[in-house]
Amino acid sequence: MSATLQSPLSTILSSSTLQEKKLRFASQSVKPAALIIKPLRALSLVRGATWFSSSTDTVPSTELDAVTRYSEIVPDTVIFDDFERFPPTAATVSSSLVLGICGLPDSKFKSSVDRALADSECYNIENLASRMSCFSDKALVNVGGGLAKLVPGRVSTEVDARLAYDTQAITKKVHDLLRLYDKVEVPAERLLFKIPSTWQGIEASRLLEAEGIQTHLTFVYSFCQAAAAAQAGASVIQIFVGRLRDWARNHTGDAEIETAVGRGDDPGLTLVTKAYNYIQKNGYKSKLMAAAIRNKQDVFNLLGVDYIITPLKILQSLKESVTPPDEKYSLVKRLSPESAAVYNFSSEELAKWDQYSFSSAMGPAAVELLASGLDGHANQSRRLEEFFGKIWPPPNV
């Protein structure tokens, strides 16, 4: 998913810089700004979670039929095309999505953005930054409401990454977005709110889930993040397999990654396996999503995980690969509650995570990749606000 995902930093942080980032990770509080969301690819995306039909046992099936027996395959689908080949059943709305819509005036969603910019609740706000934040929220929700009419599953709305270190600001933003969704008649059970997996973000997830609001924790690059997210009760936890692999190819010094590499294992696949087993063995409700899939073998190695976000090129290859009836069941389910039951965890890994133990366990890979993702999301949010500032007021306002 090279077009979708942020590239890791090219050089490792120095030990002093890493220590500063860990300290910031543990204690920093970012004040609310405007809405940021999803810079994960240059074009806007719909994350379509689609169950593909399997063939009968009497005719050849495809590898795609076979893998969907074990995991829900989530097409990484550009919103403006590919619906016929791989129709999504769920969606993600983000700042980058809204920017993409603004760049395509013939899009059916352009009117959703225009309505947001004409909203009297926003244009009566005197403070310019607050006004642009209001426009961004309205545009996200209007587009999300439109997507909810097109897909039967949930719509995930990404929360401003500039709030990533402020639990109170995250929860307030989610409540504000939920209020706007209620106005466009999208019920809470159709919604997820995508939050960065800082400690403060995980705490916000805990508070929101206690209210019955579903959260989707992203930017997970270490076991401590996955375990703390599961303990918080996050509905969905998203791990980026390929990004961890890329980091390991160019860096050293991360104990968690080097342990996996020393065994000859892929660090991204290892983290998904360990997180899945932790969730299943301890009876947490969270569903695990694997992202940054780079090839078919990644899909095969992750069979059994709840969701696999899969690029269209890989989906097409799976769809075109015919599996004879006698080979249909040759693919192995790698992850299962049964395998999780016999997986061994240390007492430290099973302990209740707190802010100090969490910050101490964050290795350089997780610190770098999290920071890179947050910076990318913040940039998308600023771009959207700057664009709205240039075109506002629209005609007839």
On whether residue 114 sits in a domain, the answer given is yes
Question: pLDDT tens digit string along 274-292?
Answer: 999 999 999 999 999 999 9
The domain in which residue 179 lies consists of 24-49+57-391
What pLDDT does 379 receive? Answer: 96
SS3 call for 187: coil
Range 356-372 average pLDDT: 97
Distance from the first to the final alpha carbon of the chain: 40
Residue 295 token pair = 């090839």
pLDDT score of 11 more than 50: no
d(CA 165, CA 144): 25
On whether residue 108 sits in a domain, the answer given is yes
Side-chain half-sphere exposure of 237, counting CA atoms within 13 A: 34
On whether residue 178 sits in a domain, the answer given is yes
What pLDDT does 22 receive? Answer: 46
d(CA 147, CA 138): 14
d(CA 368, CA 344): 28
Strands 322-323 and 61-62: antiparallel
Q: Which residue has the tokens 């980091």?
A: 247
Question: pLDDT tens digit string along 225-254?
Answer: 999 999 999 999 999 999 999 999 999 999
CB 188 within 8 A of CB 218: no
Number of domains in the chain: 1
On whether residue 6 sits in a domain, the answer given is no
Q: Which residue has the tokens 């590499």?
A: 261
What pLDDT does 151 receive? Answer: 86
d(CA 50, CA 312): 13
Q: Which residue has the tokens 């899909």?
A: 299
The dihedral built from the CA positions of residue 148, 140, 195 and 304, taken in this order, carries a sign that is positive
Residue of 124, 27, 56, 37 whose CA lies nearest to 385: 37
Residue 270 has a CB neighbour count (10 Å cut-off) of 19
Strands 191-196 and 215-220: parallel
On whether residue 12 sits in a domain, the answer given is no
- For this structure, is 194 an active site residue? yes
Question: pLDDT tens digit string along 96-125?
Answer: 999 999 988 788 888 999 999 998 899 889
Average pLDDT taken over every residue of the chain: 84
Looking at residue 289, which CATH number applies to its domain?
3.20.20.70
One of 173, 194, 274, 328 is an active-site residue; which one?
194
Range 349-369 average pLDDT: 97
- What's at 23, amino acid-wise? L
On whether residue 4 sits in a domain, the answer given is no
What is the share, in percent, of the chain residues with pLDDT greater than 90? 67
What pLDDT does 326 receive? Answer: 60
pLDDT score of 351 more than 90: yes
What pLDDT does 83 receive? Answer: 64
The lowest-confidence range among 57-71, 212-226, 244-258, 287-301 is 57-71
d(CA 209, CA 220): 18
On whether residue 15 sits in a domain, the answer given is no
SS3 call for 119: coil
On whether residue 248 sits in a domain, the answer given is yes
